[in-house]
C-alpha cells in the first residue's frame, strides 16, 4: 500500500510521463527469490531506479504504508484488487496474466493511523 500526499507527474522509465492523483495505491509484485531483500530495497530512499515502482517510491511525497506478503500469484492478487489503472503496463512488462498494470489507484481514502509506520505482514 502506497500513499501519495499530493498529485504529481512522474517519468516512469521508458513508459513515459504520467499524472498521479493524490491518494492511496496498491502495487503487486512477485519477487520469488529473496523477497525480504527486495522489500528492504524498496524501503530504502537512496537507490538506483531499476523497476517501475522505484520511480514512484523515489518521489518525496510518496510513502509506503504497508507491505503484505501473499501466497497467491501476483496476477491473481492483482485481478482481485479493485482500483483504476493510471499507468498501463506498470510493473507488468513480463505479465502473462493480462493484468494491464500491477499498480492500481484506490482513490482518495482518508488517512488511517500513522502513514510513516511501515508494517510487513506475512501470510498465516
Q: Is the model more confident about 17 or about 44?
A: 17
Asked whether the predicted pLDDT for residue 35 surpasses 80, the reply is: no
Q: What is the pTM of this model?
A: 0.81
Question: Distance of alpha carbon 105 from its chain centroid, rounded?
Answer: 9
- Per-residue b or e along 7-43, where b marks 16 or more CB atoms closer than 10 Å to that residue's CB: ebebebeebeebebeebbbbbbbbeeeeeeeebebbe
- Residue 113 pLDDT grade (very low, low, confident, very high; cuts 50, 70, 90): very low
The pLDDT of residue 22? 94
pLDDT in tens, 89-110: 999 887 888 888 999 999 986 5
CB 84 within 8 A of CB 30: no
Q: Which run of H or E residues covers position 62?
A: strand 62-64
120/79: higher pLDDT:
79
Q: Is the CB of residue 35 less than 8 Å from the CB of residue 12?
A: no
Amino acid at each position: 500500500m502506497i500513499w501519495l500526499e499530493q498529485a504529481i507527474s512522474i517519468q516512469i522509465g521508458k513508459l513515459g510521463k504520467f499524472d498521479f492523483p493524490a491518494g492511496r495505491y496498491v502495487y503487486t509484485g512477485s519477487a520469488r527469490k529473496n523477497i525480504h531483500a527486495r522489500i528492504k530495497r524498496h524501503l530504502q530512499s537512496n537507490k538506483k531506479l531499476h523497476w517501475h515502482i522505484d520511480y514512484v517510491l523515489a518521489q518525496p511525497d510518496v510513502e509506503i504504508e504497508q507491505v503484505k506478503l501473499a501466497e497467491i500469484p501476483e496476477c491473481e492478487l492483482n485481478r482481485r484488487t479493485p482500483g483504476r489503472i493510471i499507468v498501463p503496463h506498470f510493473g507488468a512488462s513480463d505479465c502473462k496474466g493480462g493484468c494491464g498494470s500491477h499498480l492500481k489507484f484506490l482513490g482518495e481514502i482518508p488517512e488511517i493511523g500513522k502513514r510513516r509506520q511501515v508494517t510487513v505482514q506475512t501470510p498465516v
